[in-house]
Chains A and B, each alone.
Chain A
Amino acid sequence: DQQVKQNSPSLSVQEGRISILNCDYTNSMFDYFLWYKKYPAEGPTFLISISSIKDKNEDGRFTVFLNKSAKHLSLHIVPSQPGDSAVYFCAASGESTDKLIFGTGTRLQVFP
């Protein structure tokens, strides 16, 4: 069973516009959520995280929103830049474990 789901395999956005990447989870015991960005032939790079006690965390152009009742989180990138083109993974962890549970990823393409 997939505990963390990213239902959109790809997203294409024009430069300067907002990119919104979505993630759903099923396990209510998750208490920390992260977004990682991955370029080809590189390991995932940490982008931004949010604790389950918050509903929003912002870092520059990146904002993560958490809706616990809906078990849904989203990553907003604004304004989008061509260098943001990568695969974005949503991940979650719980208090009783350090392992990260990843979604299947969304490939973002930002075109000029």
Chain B
Amino acid sequence: GAGVSQTPSNKVTEKGKYVELRCDPISGHTALYWYRQSLGQGPEFLIYFQGTGAADDSGLPNDRFFAVRPEGSVSTLKIQRTERGDSAVYLCASRLAGGPPTYNEQFFGPGTRLTVL
């Protein structure tokens, strides 16, 4: 398919464990975003990559969260020592290119539902 894909679709883990969530962006999209959506809320920004580098990681809640995009395509969001409050849907989005002036929208994947028991 040509859309953004995310794996796994569901992840159940125990408190204190480490998890990795994967995002495959649309081919050719240089910008990649991670968001987190908690129940009853809108998506909340976590981190943005332009190419291989994190251009804005201001949304990462603490140092347990880390994301990489080593080759400028696939990205992995890593969460250490998971807590019950990390339970949410983690959304990935990609975009043809970052920045104005001509805005091009972000295309979202279906998300990974993370449940921390």
Using A95-B100, A98-B56 as known contacts, say yes or no to A43 and B42 having CB atoms under 8 A apart. no
A98 touches B98 (CB 8 A): yes
* Residues 40-64 of A at the B interface (beta carbon under 8 Å): 41-46, 49, 51
Residue of A nearest to B4 (CB): A43
Distance A101 CA – B45 CA, assembled complex (angstroms): 7
Residue of A nearest to B111 (CB): A43
In the assembled complex, B106 has its CB within 8 A of some CB on chain A: yes
Sort chain A's interface into a size bin.
20 to 34
Residue among A41, A46, A98, A103 making CB contact with B107, cutoff 8 Å: A46
In the assembled complex, B51 has its CB within 8 A of some CB on chain A: no
* Residues 62-110 of B at the A interface (beta carbon under 8 Å): 91, 93, 95, 98-100, 103, 105-110
A99 touches B48 (CB 8 A): yes
Find chain A residues with CB under 8 A from B1 CB: none
Count of A-B residue pairs with CB < 8 Å:
63
Residue among B50, B93, B103 making CB contact with A49, cutoff 8 Å: B103
A49 touches B91 (CB 8 A): no
In the assembled complex, A89 has its CB within 8 A of some CB on chain B: yes
Residue of A nearest to B92 (CB): A43
Find chain A residues with CB under 8 A from B50 CB: 98
A99 touches B42 (CB 8 A): no
A43 touches B109 (CB 8 A): yes
In the assembled complex, B53 has its CB within 8 A of some CB on chain A: no
* CB<8 Å pairs between A and B, sample of 10: A31-B100, A49-B103, A51-B103, A89-B42, A98-B33, A98-B99, A99-B56, A100-B33, A100-B45, A101-B45
Interface residues of chain A, those whose CB is within 8 Å of chain B, are 4, 6, 31-32, 34, 36, 41-46, 49, 51, 89, 91, 93, 95, 97-105
Which 9 A-B pairs have CB atoms at the shortest separation, nearest pair first?
Answer: A102-B42, A43-B108, A99-B45, A46-B105, A98-B98, A44-B108, A102-B43, A43-B110, A43-B109
Given contacts A98-B95, A99-B45, A102-B42, 17 further A-B contacts (CB under 8 A): A6-B42, A43-B91, A43-B93, A43-B108, A43-B109, A44-B91, A89-B42, A93-B103, A95-B100, A98-B48, A98-B55, A98-B98, A99-B48, A100-B35, A100-B106, A101-B45, A104-B40
